[in-house]
Amino acid sequence: MRLSGVFRFAVILLTVGVTWHFARTYLLRSWRTNSFRNIADREIKQASTKPSKNKCGNAKPCSKDHFAFKIVSGAASVVGPSMCLDDKLIMSNIKNNIGRGINIAFINGTNGEVLKTGFFDMYAGDVAELLEFVKPVQVGYMAMIATYDDPATKLNDEARKYFTDMGSAYANKLNFRDNWVFLGVVGMQIKSPFEKHIKNDGETNKYDGWPEVLEMEGCVPRKRE
């Protein structure tokens, strides 16, 4: 680009910048109408939903001896769940490895490597497939779980107990179309702090036949060998 071109560009940029700054200051100082406040609100909202620099887009960073994680449940029967660990998308619509029912990822808690992922249709599927999938996994593996649509119709006591043994307080109450996100450890036997659930309830549901989407993020300690 020629120097004069660069100069003209800089002038335009400056003019636009000054005008914008003026308009903004002027409007902020002198007009307090509702419509303007709405715009301001929208700006604040946009600023706060800007992708964060933290792993998985989380609000807070994690220390070195922790993994950052985010688990999002499905939305009604329309949008599938997603799971992120240390900025790595483990299960999602885009990865095409999620489905109706219970979505599970097993992870080596020392190095964060994914052992395997699976999804199990608990409306029309067979809980035996879920049990076959989870049973061989060694005690101590980390598990991330997210539900999509209906996670409970086919769930039996054995599967519920398996999740309870991972530290879930809710698995034994999980019902038709409830939403549930959970992070636990195989055979941990103590309650996990990483769990959220919401009941399918016609009175309070966000969508007609389904409750609100659940989102859970945080830092989980790495396992020491």
Ligand X SMILES: *[C@@H]1O[C@H](CO)[C@@H](O)[C@H](O)[C@H]1NC(C)=O
The residue within the footprint of ligand X, chosen from 77, 92, 97, 108 (CB under 6 A), is 108
Size of the site for ligand X (CB under 6 A): 5
Q: Is 110 in the site for ligand X (CB under 6 A)?
A: yes
Give residues with Cβ within 8 angstroms of 30, minimum separation 6.
Answer: none
**139 near ligand X, rule: CB under 6 A:** no
Among 138, 156, 172, 189, binds ligand X (CB under 6 A): 138
Q: For ligand X, which residue has the nearest CB?
A: 108
Strand partners, 84: 70, 89
Hunting for tokens 């009941």 — which residue is that? 199
9-17, 43-51, 104-112, 189-197 -> range binding ligand X (CB under 6 A): 104-112
**25 binds ligand X, rule: CB under 6 A:** no
Q: Which long-range contacts (CB under 8 A, 24 or more apart) does 190-195 make?
A: 191/167, 192/166, 192/167, 192/168, 194/69, 194/218, 194/220, 195/167, 195/168, 195/169, 195/170
15, 111, 189, 204: which one contacts ligand X (CB under 6 A)? 111
Helix, strand, coil percent values for the chain (each to nearest 5): 30, 25, 45
| Shortest Cβ 140–ligand X spacing (Å) | 7
> Which residues face 144 on adjacent strands?
105, 183
Residues from 61 through 80 that contact ligand X (CB under 6 A): none
Residue ranges in 153-192 that form contacts with ligand X under rule CB under 6 A: none
Residues in the site for ligand X, rule: CB under 6 A?
A: 108, 110-111, 138, 225
